[in-house]
A = this chain, B = another copy of it.
Amino acid sequence: MGVVIDNDRCSIARALGLLGERWSLQIVRDISNGVRRFEELREHLGVARNVLSNRLSALVDAGLLERVAYQEFGSRQRHEYALTSAGRELWPVLMALMAWGDRHLADGPPPVEPEHVGCGGKVALVPVCEHGHVVEAGRELGLRLGAGGV
């Protein structure tokens, strides 16, 4: 069954090499929600300073975040963190995780929901093929070897 490839060539494995621990994706989530500064992140996440410092550096090095200077009146110049386009493109991962957590780990109704700004409808991720067909996950979604296949 299934299409099995070398693990170290798998994009999921690579992505998890960078994002596969407890904090990175939460940092990305917080930054995309406007929590941008070291102290805010530390407090909101409850993560140790040194760990946060390490994660932020790793994410900057990996090109997901960039340091941006800012200066509040009466304070020295500091910097906060902003998502790069690579970081912003993690939104489907966050959305999928949120939907799954809402469904399987929640102890009540979901605290936040993705919405279609303008029409206000709830948003879900739907698999659609390049010919515009909506793909049914259970039966119609498969894997094939791609151009970089074995």
Question: How far is A34 from B4 in the complex, measured between Cα atoms in Å?
Answer: 8
With a 10 A CB-CB cut-off, give which of A86, A88, A97, A128 has the most chain B CB atoms. Answer: A97
Q: Tell me if A48 is interfacial: C-beta within 8 Å of chain B.
A: no
Total A residues in contact with B, Cβ cutoff 8 Å: 94
Question: How far is A137 from B85 in the complex, measured between Cα atoms in Å?
Answer: 12
Q: Tell me if A130 is interfacial: C-beta within 8 Å of chain B.
A: yes
User: Within the complex, which residue of B17, B126, B145 is in contact with A126, where a contact is CB–CB below 8 Å?
Assistant: B126
Interchain CB contact under 8 A, A20 and B22: yes
Q: How many copies does the complex hold?
A: 2
Which residues of chain B are within 8 angstroms of A7 by Cβ–Cβ distance?
Answer: 26, 44-46
Question: How far is A45 from B13 in the complex, measured between Cα atoms in Å?
Answer: 9
Which residues of chain B are within 8 angstroms of A1 by Cβ–Cβ distance?
Answer: 33-34
Q: Tell me if A69 is interfacial: C-beta within 8 Å of chain B.
A: no
Binding site for B on A (CB under 8 A): 1-7, 9-23, 25-26, 29-30, 32-35, 44-46, 63, 86, 88-106, 108-131, 133, 135, 137-150
